[in-house]
Amino acid sequence: MAKPPVLPKPDRWDATHGTYLTGRAYLDGADALAAEMEERWGADRLRLLVDVTLREKFDRQRYKLRQAVEGGTLEDVRREAQRMILALQTLDRAAEANGAEPIDSRCMEVAMADGTVLGIVPDETYAKLLAQEGRRLAVYTLEEIALLVATLPALGKAKEVWPGATVVKVRRNVSDPLDNIPHATGLDDPLNNDGAFS
């Protein structure tokens, strides 16, 4: 006998298509600002450019937002996403006031799943500058990237065979919330899956 689908608690923010879309609208704003701050200051670097008291407040806000996403109500998600936007703006202003310098526009960074920051830089000069910051960094020059691609011919072939093909699961852009609704019926209908949205 087939098991009935597990439905989320009715007061969860992602219990229906409509509440999910509303919650995603707030979360997407916070995600977009976080991506902008990462591009400006570097991956996981902004929180290190402010004093420890402000860093602690920021980390507490990150925790509250995660809790809201994992099991909160729509009001929890709205509130914590708006507070996260304020927290990011506060850190941005504090870093500027402290005289911190944004990363050079020729350096690109992205946070990896294990917490390491992957840095891609034009040459060794930039690699040495990033290495001095004391963060968990794996820094590659453009020349090293070219060597890596050359040693993985399947990767290069995939890009040739399918122009415009992209690697999936690297999330630096805000995704479309409708992608997570497989079979929409009505905005107030309960979800017909386990309620876990990515």
pLDDT at 119: 86
Burial code of 2-35, b = ≥16 C-beta within 10 A, e = fewer?
eeeeeebeeebbbbbbebbbbbbebbeebbebbe
pLDDT at 20: 94
As a whole number of angstroms, the distance between CA 14 and CA 23 comes to 7
Q: How confident is the model at residue 181 (pLDDT cuts 50, 70, 90)?
A: low
**Among 128, 104, 122, CA closest to 39:** 104
pLDDT at 197: 44
This prediction has a pTM of 0.66
pLDDT over 90 percentage in the chain: 42
98 Cβ neighbours under 8 A, 6+ residues apart:
49, 50
Question: Could you give the 3-state DSSP secondary structure of residue 120?
Answer: strand
Q: How confident is the model at residue 162 (pLDDT cuts 50, 70, 90)?
A: confident
Residue 139 backbone dihedrals phi, psi, to 5 degrees:
-105, 130
- pLDDT tens column, 13-70: 999 999 999 999 999 999 999 999 988 998 888 999 999 999 999 999 999 999 999 9
Q: Where are the domains positioned within the chain?
A: 7-102, 104-172
